[in-house]
Chains A and B, each alone.
With several copies, the nearest count.
Chain A
Amino acid sequence: MSILVDDDTRVVVQGITGGEGKFHAGQMIEYGTNVVAGAVPGKGGQEVHGVPVYDTVHQAVEAEDADASVVFVPPAFAGDALFEALDTDLDLVVAITEGIPTQDMAKVYKRLSEVDTRLIGPNCPGIITPGEAKLGILPGNIFESGNVGLVSRSGTLTYQVVSNLTDRGIGQTTAIGIGGDPIIGTDFVDALELFEEDEDTDAVVMCGEIGGEDEEEAAAYIAEHMDTPVAGFIAGRTAPPGKRMGHAGAIVSGSGTGTAQSKIDALNDAGVPVGDTPEEVADHIEDFL
């Protein structure tokens, strides 16, 4: 039915008393997500949207038997909040925060290799299993339950592609925004692996963008390990080298690695059709189903 999150997922919201955290915790609850606790130092004992707040993530996890957290902590403190989350036995941590210093994330990435917790993000819209749970800021109303998995480095581009699918009556098993930063937890290969194993996912959309080599690695993974058909989209074909296109990770290096063309070629070589427009991506998926 889905990967990683469903209506059993018990969620802690880190930063639930801040503006963003409070608003989106409300949206998540309204969507039906099982938000069981908030965690904010010094705010223990309060309630937000009827959800109890604890001073530490450990207290929240223990008291409410949580298995996932969503992080809305401001960038200067987000690295610490992630270390805190990774120090508990949560299965999943979703980091929404944009603008975490890269060197903080490099340390978090090292720590990730030492624990069993999965991280999604940071600088991502989160993850949604339509009709069951959303952890993050994705607008629930554009999603519909169905049989297509979606994984994307981008937020609003994801919404665009999802609308193109939903408008045609194509629903989603789960959609994951993996984030636009240079260093992220779950990457394309991780997400594709989960969709490949999910019996209910019959096709996958993968929205990449310039920068790094994640898409190339994903292409290699698809060619070797995937039976589920994948359609791709790559943003940033017109990006000049050496300029950061909004996302900290969206940058073509001066030597020309990380270009859209390299990624499109790799995906095509792996048998993945890459749409020139979001509509074309929906066309490819329609063909698969």
Chain B
Amino acid sequence: MKLHEYQAKEVFAEAGIPVPDSQLAESVDEAVAAAEEIGYPVAVKAQVHVGGRGKAGGIKLAENEEEAREAAEAILGMDLKGYTVESVLVEAGVDFVNELYVGVTMDRGEGKPVAMVSTQGGVNIEEVAEENPEAIAREHVDPAFGMHPYQARKAVYDAGVDREHSRDVASILTTLYDLYEERDASDIEVNPVMITSDGDVIAADAVMNIDDDALFRQPDLEEMQEAAYENDLERKAGEYGFDYVRLEGNVGIIGNGAGLVMTTLDLVDYYGGQPANFLDIGGGAKAERVTNALDMVFSDENVDSVVFNIFGGITRGDEVAKGINEALEQFDEIPKPVTVRLAGTNAEEGMEILNTDLVKVEKTLEDAVQRAVSDAEEVNQ
């Protein structure tokens, strides 16, 4: 789960990290009122989970009411890399002399969190990591002990932060690590940490992604989930409890097991089609879950055909087939052509049971995918 900037800043501020004054606005008038209250200059920042918002026009500075209105008008409702901007954060402009990067993430190779500090903040840190890796000081943290204070200092000194600001920056890093640990973050970062002309150290941006698997013990963050969804399909997947990722193609994909679903996507691509989504229906395939999965894929207007790929392990193919029949029988008309492939335990029995008035049946994965791809092509012709 990705928090919006404004949500992350609420969490950071509560933990004692200095952030600029700001207000969330969902309309142009709200944005202007917020700017007036905060005082100029302000930054108007699109609240979407898209990297490089600034370059894409999602952040604008405003020196006065007119500029604030223009900025809010330009940003609210804009399409930013496929996401519609529904709210902006209006934030006090910071007069900075220096920008740093401070963050914590999991180094999965090491199985340990890693704290990072760089004096090259304000730009894409992943580019810095690629082009100039020694510009990022890294400190691995033993998760049993947590981050020792010396590690925060070491990262800050190693990164070359001025001695004058080192204590404040180390303090932000320490708080970020504590939040990372206490709030089950998967990534947490401030980029940039701004050093103001007055020598203050302030978190000008905020990224906080939460481990979905740990949300059960972060009830207050889970409450932020609703506002963190980017669109209706994400919200629907969240409600149904599906692992779902929307892509840009037109072949809808439903399967069981992450690896097999990814493989199905890959095969759609391999056979010349374009996958519309990743949807893992998980173990079993009761009618209700099948119904929900079809609802999701059918609700995506981009989808022109659907491939349903189930490898029954412990689950028996005949039971899955019954579930699919039941689910599809609820529709008066099947909105988009569905190809089903069942494999594994009792697959043949299952294929026999499937109602071929409702679905097309293929025996191999390869054939099922090719059928769905050609169905999608037909629709587009």
Name the segment of A5-13, A63-71, A223-231, A241-249 touching the other chain.
A241-249
- Indicate if B379 sits at the interface (CB-CB under 8 A): no
B130 and A156 within 8 A (CB): no
In the assembled complex, how far is the CB of residue B113 from the closest CB belonging to chain A, in whole angstroms?
7
Name the segment of B8-16, B62-70, B259-267 touching the other chain.
B259-267
A246 and B186 within 8 A (CB): no
A56 and B270 within 8 A (CB): no
- Indicate if A270 sits at the interface (CB-CB under 8 A): no
Given contacts A101-B213, A246-B278, 19 further A-B contacts (CB under 8 A): A106-B106, A106-B143, A137-B314, A139-B345, A142-B344, A154-B259, A156-B255, A180-B259, A182-B108, A210-B262, A211-B108, A235-B266, A238-B265, A238-B269, A244-B243, A244-B245, A245-B261, A254-B51, A255-B126
A76 to B, closest residue via Cβ: B216
A277 and B366 within 8 A (CB): yes
Instruction: Tell me the bound Cα distance from A109 to B140 in angstroms.
Output: 14
- Indicate if A107 sits at the interface (CB-CB under 8 A): yes
Q: Which of A156, A236, A246, A250 contacts B313 (CB 8 A)?
A: A156
B258 and A154 within 8 A (CB): yes
B257 to A, closest residue via Cβ: A156
- Indicate if A269 sits at the interface (CB-CB under 8 A): no
In the assembled complex, how far is the CB of residue A196 from the closest CB belonging to chain B, in whole angstroms?
22
Of A44, A56, A240, A246, most B-chain CB atoms within 10 Å? A246
A209 and B108 within 8 A (CB): no
Q: A residues touching B (Cβ–Cβ < 8 Å)?
A: 23-24, 27, 41-42, 44-45, 55-59, 75-77, 80-81, 83-84, 87, 99-107, 109-111, 125, 137-139, 141-142, 152-160, 163, 180, 182-183, 207, 209-214, 233, 235-240, 242-250, 253-255, 260, 276-279
Of B150, B181, B311, most A-chain CB atoms within 10 Å? B150
10 closest Cβ pairs, A-B complex: A154-B259, A246-B258, A156-B257, A157-B259, A255-B126, A101-B214, A109-B111, A84-B150, A235-B262, A156-B260
Provide 20 A-B residue pairs closer than 8 Å at the C-beta atoms, listed in order of the A residue: A24-B314, A41-B166, A42-B163, A56-B154, A57-B150, A80-B149, A84-B150, A102-B106, A109-B143, A110-B111, A110-B143, A142-B313, A154-B262, A155-B257, A155-B260, A180-B258, A238-B266, A239-B265, A240-B245, A246-B243
B154 and A58 within 8 A (CB): yes
Q: Which of B130, B145, B217 contacts A111 (CB 8 A)?
A: B145
Question: Taking A106-B143, A110-B142, A249-B108 as contacts, is the C-beta distance between A153 and B259 under 8 angstroms?
Answer: yes
Question: Taking A142-B344, A155-B259, A254-B126 as contacts, is the C-beta distance between A137 and B313 under 8 angstroms?
Answer: yes
Chain B residues, CB < 8 A from A27: 314
Q: B residues touching A (Cβ–Cβ < 8 Å)?
A: 51, 106, 108-109, 111-113, 126-127, 129-130, 142-145, 148-150, 153-154, 157-158, 163, 166-167, 181, 184, 186, 211-214, 216-217, 243, 245, 247, 255-263, 265-270, 275, 278, 280, 311-314, 343-345, 364-366
Chain B residues, CB < 8 A from A157: 257, 259-260, 262-263
B257 and A213 within 8 A (CB): no
Instruction: Tell me the bound Cα distance from A76 to B215 in angstroms.
Output: 10
Instruction: Tell me the bound Cα distance from A54 to B247 in angstroms.
Output: 48
Chain A residues, CB < 8 A from B255: 156
A209 to B, closest residue via Cβ: B259
In the assembled complex, how far is the CB of residue B132 from the closest CB belonging to chain A, in whole angstroms?
13
Question: Taking A55-B153, A245-B262, A246-B280 as contacts, is the C-beta distance between A156 and B256 under 8 angstroms?
Answer: yes
Instruction: Tell me the bound Cα distance from A246 to B258 in angstroms.
Output: 5
Question: Taking A80-B149, A139-B313 as contacts, is the C-beta distance between A75 and B213 under 8 angstroms?
Answer: yes
Chain B residues, CB < 8 A from A250: 258-259, 262
Chain B residues, CB < 8 A from A276: 270
B218 to A, closest residue via Cβ: A101
Question: Taking A101-B214, A106-B143 as contacts, is the C-beta distance between A239 and B262 under 8 angstroms?
Answer: yes
A106 and B111 within 8 A (CB): yes
Chain B residues, CB < 8 A from A254: 51, 126
Of A103, A142, A158, A250, most B-chain CB atoms within 10 Å? A103
B144 and A235 within 8 A (CB): no
Instruction: Tell me the bound Cα distance from A235 to B264 in angstroms.
Output: 9
In the assembled complex, how far is the CB of residue A8 from the closest CB belonging to chain B, in whole angstroms?
25
Question: Taking A27-B314, A59-B157, A255-B126 as contacts, is the C-beta distance between A238 and B259 under 8 angstroms?
Answer: no
Instruction: Tell me the bound Cα distance from A254 to B109 in angstroms.
Output: 17
Of B129, B214, B259, B275, most A-chain CB atoms within 10 Å? B259
B265 and A279 within 8 A (CB): no
Chain B residues, CB < 8 A from A110: 111-112, 142-144
A278 and B365 within 8 A (CB): yes
Of A233, A238, A240, most B-chain CB atoms within 10 Å? A238
B112 and A102 within 8 A (CB): no
Chain B residues, CB < 8 A from A183: 106, 108, 111
In the assembled complex, how far is the CB of residue B338 from the closest CB belonging to chain A, in whole angstroms?
19
In the assembled complex, how far is the CB of residue B169 from the closest CB belonging to chain A, in whole angstroms?
12
B275 to A, closest residue via Cβ: A238
Question: Taking A106-B106, A107-B143 as contacts, is the C-beta distance between A83 and B148 under 8 angstroms?
Answer: yes
A246 to B, closest residue via Cβ: B258
Chain A residues, CB < 8 A from B211: 101-103, 248
B344 and A163 within 8 A (CB): yes
Instruction: Tell me the bound Cα distance from A156 to B266 in angstroms.
Output: 15
In the assembled complex, how far is the CB of residue B333 from the closest CB belonging to chain A, in whole angstroms?
30
Question: Taking A81-B150, A107-B143 as contacts, is the C-beta distance between A237 and B163 under 8 angstroms?
Answer: no
Question: Taking A58-B154, A160-B311 as contacts, is the C-beta distance between A213 and B258 under 8 angstroms?
Answer: no
Instruction: Tell me the bound Cα distance from A35 to B190 in angstroms.
Output: 40
Q: Which of A107, A182, A209, A253 contacts B262 (CB 8 A)?
A: A209
Chain A residues, CB < 8 A from B184: 101-103
Question: Taking A55-B153, A56-B150, A182-B106 as contacts, is the C-beta distance between A163 and B258 under 8 angstroms?
Answer: no
A158 and B259 within 8 A (CB): yes
A255 and B257 within 8 A (CB): no
